[in-house]
Structure 1
Amino acid sequence: MTAALPKAARVATWVYFGLNGFAVGMWVVHIPDIEHATGISHSTLGLLLLVLGGAAFAGMQIAGPLVDRIGQRRLVPAAGVLLGLAMFGPGLAENWWTLGFTLLFVGFGNGSLDVAMNAQAVVVERAYPRPIMAAFHAMWSIGGAFAALIGAGALKADVPAAVTLSGAGVVCIVVSLVAGRYLIEGEPVEQAVADEPAPKTPAKLVWQLGALAFGLMLAEGVANDWAALQFRDVLDTSTSTAAYAYGAFAVAMTVGRFATDRVAAVVGPAAIVRYGAGLAAIGLTTVIVVPWVPVALIGWALFGLGLAGGVPQLFTAAGNLDPRASGALMARVVGLGYVGLLAGPALIGGLTHWMPLNVAFVLPVILCVLTVIAAPLLKTGQPAKEKAETLSA
């Protein structure tokens, strides 16, 4: 493989991560308008969001084996096009059932693209002498930020949601078709590995990696949905000041993901997960116990910085357990992580019926501490990759 090919694939994979974040962000910023247009209640919207989440999980589990069967070069663009087509639906929905029907396709397309592009990222990373996975995940955040800016501008200009979301769908379709030309399949050395008897991938290890992803993404979901509310309700700030809480978390996480790869190349993935989770636990504990806004902002920033690198390392470890089943194995870990992302806000909301919001945040702190203890699992997550490197030498 020439030196230029992995670089082109790396840029194309960046594009898909950014595109996925952009599509999800465009849907999110238009939720209030779509809720109003369809005349549904908050409770109905909550149920429909569960439909979207369930469809995304199904898409992940179907896309994983498909990646291994037909390859990333086919599935990643196809999933991107499917997501783009699905984006036309929510803005055109007129009632709860048409919105629910369209969200099935949005969720399925999002879940399929999520697993497929992560599987491609693992393949591209194998062509590099250092980790590059975390930067891909940072591009997802960048795509979401662009969506927030563009969506806010469109809403301010009173552009109908159907027009904006359809435009986003066209962007997804065109970019997916163009970027797909630069994706790559596995290295030839992986075929050499594939010709040998299949190594046993311990099911227990896969579920353990999935459990870590569940915990870290649950913590991320808590920040996404509760950071601003914690400032407003617990620290009694204004709504505008409360927005800085999530902003501190999101900016720190994005910056941390861009920095993680070079640090991981020196200290290894297990250290990234262990010390990152430890830093996240310290940050959120600061938020829990310190009632001063400036210190709490620092706490949310530390929380985001600590969580930044962990999930990409887990996805890489899952994808490298066995290159022949990379997609299927990654689908399990990504799927469990996604369940955590969805479950976190709901669990915290349930706990607030019995305890203050700050106290409920002890749950993600505990999960971060457990991750610190279990982080050495990642040292056993790369046997197939190391074997491939030995064969190529």
Structure 2
Amino acid sequence: MTTALPRAARVATWIYFTLNGFAVGLWVVHIPNVERATGISHSALGGLLLVLGAAAFLGMQVAGPLADRFGQRKLLPAAGVLLGAALFLPGLAESWWALGLALLFFGFGNGTIDVAMNSHAVVVERAYPRPIMASFHAMWSIGGAFAAVVGAVTLGAEVPTAVTLSVCGVFTIVVSLLTGRFLIDADVPEPEETTSSAPAAKPSKKLVWLLGAIAFAMMLAEGVANDWAALHAEDVLGTSTSTAAFAYGSFAVAMTVGRFATDRVAAIVGPVAIVRYGAALAGFGLTLVVFSPWVWLAFTGWALFGLGLSGSVPQLFSAAGNLDKRSSGALMARVVGLGYVGLLAGPALIGGLAHWIPLNVAFLVPVALCLLGVVFANVLAPRPEPAVSVSGR
């Protein structure tokens, strides 16, 4: 394989991650408009968002085996087209049931491209002598930031939601199709390359579930920051709404910067250290948030929280995708799916606890979950591959 080909595939994978972050971000910034257009209540919207989450999880589980059977090179462009087509629909909805169908389609497309692009990222990473997974996830964040800018401009200009989402949906489809030609196929061993005396051992289910459990814990913690950082600053620390926005902003910026830096650090210290010390730093940062009476110290805590979490999930996804090249997509779908469940569960869990205990005290739950990464980080330690014997040698 030439050096130019993996480099082109790497850039192409960056583009797909950016497109996914862009599409999701556009939906998020237009939620208030869609809610008004359909005339639904906040509680009804919450229920429909669960539909989106369930559809995304289903899409992940479908995409994994498809990636293994047909290859990421074929699946990823198709997933991008599906996501772009689905982006049209929420802006066209005028009732709760129409929005529900739109989010079912959009969630499925989002889940499909999530597994497809992460699975292809693992394929590209194998062609490099160093870790590169975290940079792909950083591009997802860049896509979300780009969506926020586009949303601010179009909403400020009072462009109809249907027009904005439709144009951006077409853009997503076109870019997905044009970028697909630069993707590469996975290098999967043929049967004759494996040990002649016995078939290659499959990864233990316990190992897969443990990776998934850590992903669940880390992404649950991330979900808490997404939905509750600004509310904590406003309700617990008494800041203004504008100042409270810096709480999530400090987390998001630190998360993005950390993901761009993680690959170089991981090449030196390895994935075990990234997850162990990253989870420890995240736990320490959120502990500062829990006990800080000062706004700017809490913002520092959110920044440390984001920095600590930034590298953990990419390492987990990469480890899952490399457990078995023959079933890389299916294994990754399980780990990505469990992480996604955590991302959805985090805000709801904290919201439920906040009815009974102060919000900052409820944050001790994700602090405790960060300890899972500290304790079980060794699950990412490289395992020696079984010896391969080929007849005639």
| TM value normalised by structure 1 | 0.96
1:293-320 superposed Cα distances (whole Å, 9 cap, x missing partner): 1111110000000000000000000000
Question: Is the CA contact (8 Å cut-off) linking 1:194 and 1:324 kept in structure 2?
Answer: no
Partner of 1:227: 229
CA–CA distance in structure 2, aligned partners of residues 131 and 3 of structure 1: 16
1:28-64 superposed Cα distances (whole Å, 9 cap, x missing partner): 0000000000000000000000000000000000000
Aligned-pair identity (%): 73
Distance change >3 Å, CA 199–CA 193, structure 1 → 2: farther
How far the C-alpha of 1:291 sits from its partner, in A, is 1.1
Partner of 1:379: 381
Aligned ranges 1:164-175 → 2 under 5 Å: 164-175=164-175
How far the C-alpha of 1:220 sits from its partner, in A, is 0.2
Partner of 1:367: 369
Partner of 2:207: 205
Question: Is the CA contact (8 Å cut-off) linking 1:273 and 1:309 kept in structure 2?
Answer: yes
How far the C-alpha of 1:383 sits from its partner, in A, is 4.8
Aligned ranges 1:66-81 → 2 under 5 Å: 66-81=66-81
The question of 1:38 aligning with 2:38 is answered: yes
The question of 1:160 aligning with 2:160 is answered: yes
The question of 1:116 aligning with 2:116 is answered: yes
- Matching residue's letter, 1:327: G
Partner of 1:107: 107
How far the C-alpha of 1:187 sits from its partner, in A, is 2.8
Q: 1:288 aligns with which of 269, 287, 290?
A: 290
1:264-285 superposed Cα distances (whole Å, 9 cap, x missing partner): 0000001000000000000000
- Matching residue's letter, 1:359: V
Q: Calculate the aligned-residue CA RMSD, in Å.
A: 1.3
- Matching residue's letter, 2:119: A
Partner of 1:305: 307
CA–CA distance in structure 1, aligned partners of residues 5 and 187 of structure 2: 11
How far the C-alpha of 1:113 sits from its partner, in A, is 0.1
CA–CA distance in structure 1, aligned partners of residues 192 and 25 of structure 2: 39
Secondary structure of 2:381's aligned partner? helix
Aligned ranges 1:138-157 → 2 under 5 Å: 138-157=138-157
CA–CA distance in structure 2, aligned partners of residues 187 and 383 of structure 1: 19
The question of 1:14 aligning with 2:14 is answered: yes
CA–CA distance in structure 2, aligned partners of residues 11 and 387 of structure 1: 34
CA–CA distance in structure 2, aligned partners of residues 383 and 314 of structure 1: 18
How far the C-alpha of 1:191 sits from its partner, in A, is 3.8
Which stretches in structure 2 are left out of the alignment for 5+ residues?
389-393
Aligned ranges 1:214-293 → 2 under 5 Å: 214-293=216-295
- Matching residue's letter, 1:14: W
Partner of 1:327: 329
Partner of 1:391: none
Partner of 1:26: 26
CA–CA distance in structure 1, aligned partners of residues 203 and 289 of structure 2: 40
CA–CA distance in structure 1, aligned partners of residues 257 and 85 of structure 2: 32
The question of 1:183 aligning with 2:187 is answered: no
| TM value normalised by structure 2 | 0.96
1:198-226 superposed Cα distances (whole Å, 9 cap, x missing partner): 32210000000000000000000000000
Task: Count residues in correspondence.
Answer: 385
Which stretches in structure 1 are left out of the alignment for 5+ residues?
389-393
CA–CA distance in structure 2, aligned partners of residues 209 and 305 of structure 1: 20
